[in-house]
Amino acid sequence: MWATLGLTGLAIVAYANPRVPLELTSAVLVALLLVLFYIAPIAREPGDEPLGAVALLKGFANPAIIAVVALLVIGQGMVRTGALDFASRRIYLLARGRPAPAIAMTLIVALSISALLNNTPVVVMFIPILAALADRLGHSASRLMMPLSFCAILGGMTTLIGSSTNLLVSGTAVQLGLRPLRFFDFTIPGLVLAGIGLLYVLFVAPRLMPKRRAPVAEQTGSGGKQFVAQFTVTLGSSLTGAKAVGGMFPALRNMTVLMIERGESVIQPPFEDIRLEPDDLVIVAATRNALTEAVARDATLYIRPSPVSRPAQNVEGGDARAPQGHLVAEVMVSPGSRMVDLPLEQVAFAASQNISVLGIQRRLRMSRARINELRLEAGDVLLVRGRPSDIQALRANRDVVLMEWSASELPAYRHAGRAVLIFLAVVGLAASGVVPITITALCGAALMIVTGCLNIRQAGRAIDRQIVMVGGAALALDAALTATGGATFIADSFLGALHGAGPAIVLSAFFLLVAVITNVLTNNACAVLFTPIAVNIAYSLGVDPMIFVITVILAANCSFATPIGYLTNLLVMAPGRYRFTDYLRVGGPLIILLWVAFSLFAPWYYGLW
Q: What is the reported pLDDT for 220?
A: 37
Q: Residue 3 to residues 35, 319, 471, 481, 485: CA-CA distances in angstroms? A: 12, 64, 21, 10, 12
Per-residue confidence (pLDDT) for residue 599, from 0 to 100: 96
Domain boundaries, the chain: 237-319+326-409
- Give helix 503-517 / helix 486-497 axis angle, nearest 10°: 120
Q: How far apart are CA 340 and CA 344, in angstroms?
A: 10
- DSSP bridge pairs for 50: 43
pLDDT score at 82: 75
Alpha carbons 386 and 228: distance in angstroms, whole number:
19
- Spatial distance between the Cα atoms of 237 and 373, rounded to a whole number of angstroms: 23
CATH architecture of 237-319+326-409: 2-Layer Sandwich (3.30)
Q: What is the pLDDT of residue 363?
A: 63
Q: Please tell me whether residue 136 adopts helix, strand or coil conformation.
A: helix
Beta-bridge mates of residue 265? 262
| First and final C-alpha spacing in the chain | 35
Burial class of residue 49 in the structure, from the number of CB atoms within 10 Å of its CB (0-12 exposed, 13-18 middle, 19+ buried): exposed
Which segments of the chain have a pLDDT < 50? 214-223, 305-322
Beta strands (DSSP E) in 142-291 are 227-232, 255-262, 265-267, 281-286
pLDDT at 303: 59
